[in-house]
Amino acid sequence: MNVAATALAWTVLHSLWQGALMASIAVLTRSFIRSPAARHWLAWMGLVLMVPISLATWGFEVKLASLAADAGGEVRPLAMSTPTILRAALSPLLPYVLVAWGVGSTWAHARMLYGWWQMHAYLSALVPASAWERRAHELARRFSSNMRFRVCVSDHIDSPAVMGALRPFVLLPLRFVANTRPEFVEAVLLHELAHLHRHDYVLNLIQRAVEATFFFHPGLRWLGRCAREDRELACDELALSVGCDRFHFADALLVLERQRMPSDLQLSPGLSAQGGHLMQRIQRIIEHDRRPSRYIPPWLPLGGVSVCIFAALAAPSCLEPAADEPSSPSDPTEAHEREQTEAQAALSPPEPSSTWEPAELDGRWRELFVEAGERHGVDPDLLAVVAWVESRGEPHALSSVGARGLMQIMPATAEKIASKRGLAEHHADRLDDPHYNLDLAAWLLARHLESFGGDVELAAAAYNGGPERVRAWQETGEELSRETHRYKQRVRQLWEDRPYD
């Protein structure tokens, strides 16, 4: 797969724990909130914010994959943390994840678009209800907003609904209008006008699109269900607060329930008055005392979601091995001194070790180092240095981006080397063979040494960051990454500290 597709598959996998975190935050926060309007916003925001979180995750994964591709497959020093092992185990499944998500998401979006198409088909057969439209505009003045809408009746629906954003329609079932007391119709109209006042139709469109994208996530589906139920309760409370008779409204809901029949309109992105649990709604309506609900500051339901956003955006970077960072000092002078110290440390070579660490590999791999070195004209000690820095001599090492084996070679890089050398029996699984892995790495190092005039430090930088980046650094002064800078210094230090016979 290409870089973008690989990043998308990883984003789908990341969304599993990110969505679970969102749902967990919502569960904890909802228990402290009584207002249905605030609870609706909490659930809706928790669901919709998965979009920017996933976009940020995709950008991180694209950058990660691009760095590996630009480096020709050479990879960062190995850190066999649990996330690294998990990524390595999931990497072979990425194509299947992408195909499954693509098929499911396409089906979910197609189903939503089919409902939208059906909605417009119904709109073309609507019957204007002029008398009720005049009455609805009179009722709309209670919301202190200048709402423009049409009121129509239809025999294709069994529940009142609001459809349309720029030219909204309030739809009433023909049987309900014809066979119900006017007071009941007015109560239902006030509920639908509450939807218009809150712009719920647009919010519902966005919600449906997000739900179709994350169709596979049970936690996000639960958030969507909570958003729909709380939206109806919020509109009930808003209608009651502007003078809707609670007993007429409760009776109207019971009449609608008796008149209900299976409706294809359930597929549409419109808003139905029948959302939520009927008995729960009726109980809340009957017990409503017309006093406003306890005020909930806007920051309260969104505070937990904000924490969730930062955690979800920052967590993917934790999958990459990184050096421990010191805590930030509060004193500006101390911070400046620390920055200078870190800059000098980054440019200065590491402290020499009292023992030559790569010598630990001699007992296991010395014969292979000598054999590969003689075959490709590379000093065996240099091969030992690179093997130590890359994998600590572990022949089955696997990095977070898929680099394999003793010398940590990416499968794509190995395939290019095999193609250039005409190795017909090449296969990615052979990278776990230390003899084969070392042979490919020695050939690659020999090419880098040849390209950079035998300079070990530059060859090491090319092995880690790619020859193009090293040439750009030489020619234009474009900075190498901190990791490549440290990598080449580490290799140089170990190379200079090697014991001489």
Per-residue pLDDT of 33-49, as tens digits, reads 888 999 999 999 999 99
Cα dihedral 174, 178, 183, 186 sign: positive
Task: Determine what percent of the chain is predicted with pLDDT higher than 70.
Answer: 77
Higher confidence at residue 490 or residue 293? 490
Residue 29 has pLDDT above 60, yes or no: yes
Span 394-408, average pLDDT = 84
Predicted pLDDT of residue 289: 55
357: pLDDT confidence band, cut at 50, 70 and 90?
Answer: confident
Higher confidence at residue 312 or residue 196? 196
Task: Determine what percent of the chain is predicted with pLDDT higher than 90.
Answer: 41
In three-state secondary structure terms, 152 is strand
At position 194, the amino acid (one-letter code) is A
Q: What is the overall mean pLDDT for the chain? A: 80
Span 251-261, average pLDDT = 82
Q: For residues 256 and 176, what is the distance between their CA atoms, to the nearest angstrom? A: 7
Predicted pLDDT of residue 81: 42
- Please identify which residue in the block is written with the tokens 């008995």: 279
Predicted pLDDT of residue 375: 93
Predicted pLDDT of residue 142: 92
At position 200, the amino acid (one-letter code) is D
Q: For the packed helices 246-259 and 278-287, what is the interaxial angle rounded to 10 degrees?
A: 160
Q: For residues 222 and 230, what is the distance between their CA atoms, to the nearest angstrom? A: 12
Residue 261 has pLDDT above 80, yes or no: no
pTM of the predicted model over 0.75 = no
164 phi/psi in degrees, rounded to 5: 95, 150
> How many other CB atoms are found less than 10 A from the CB of residue 18?
27
Identify the structural domains of the chain with CATH numbers, from first to last: 3-312 (no CATH), 357-496 (1.10.530.10)
Predicted pLDDT of residue 270: 45
Span 304-331, average pLDDT = 48
Lowest mean pLDDT among 184-193, 265-274, 386-395: 265-274
* Residues 6+ positions from 102 with CB-CB distance below 8 Å: none
351: pLDDT confidence band, cut at 50, 70 and 90?
Answer: very low
Alpha carbon separation from 160 to 150, 171, 211, 326, 344 (Å, rounded)? 13, 5, 23, 60, 71
Could you report the per-residue pLDDT of 403-435, keeping only the tens digit for each?
888 999 988 889 899 999 998 888 888 999 999
Q: Report the Cα–Cα distance between both ends of the chain, in Å, rounded.
A: 48
In three-state secondary structure terms, 344 is helix
Nearest alpha carbon to residue 372 among 293, 460, 433, 282: 433
Alpha carbon separation from 48 to 43, 299, 332, 395 (Å, rounded)? 9, 17, 39, 45
Token readout for 207 is 């919600």
In three-state secondary structure terms, 398 is strand
The torsion of the CA quartet 335, 339, 345, 347, rounded to 10 degrees, works out to -170
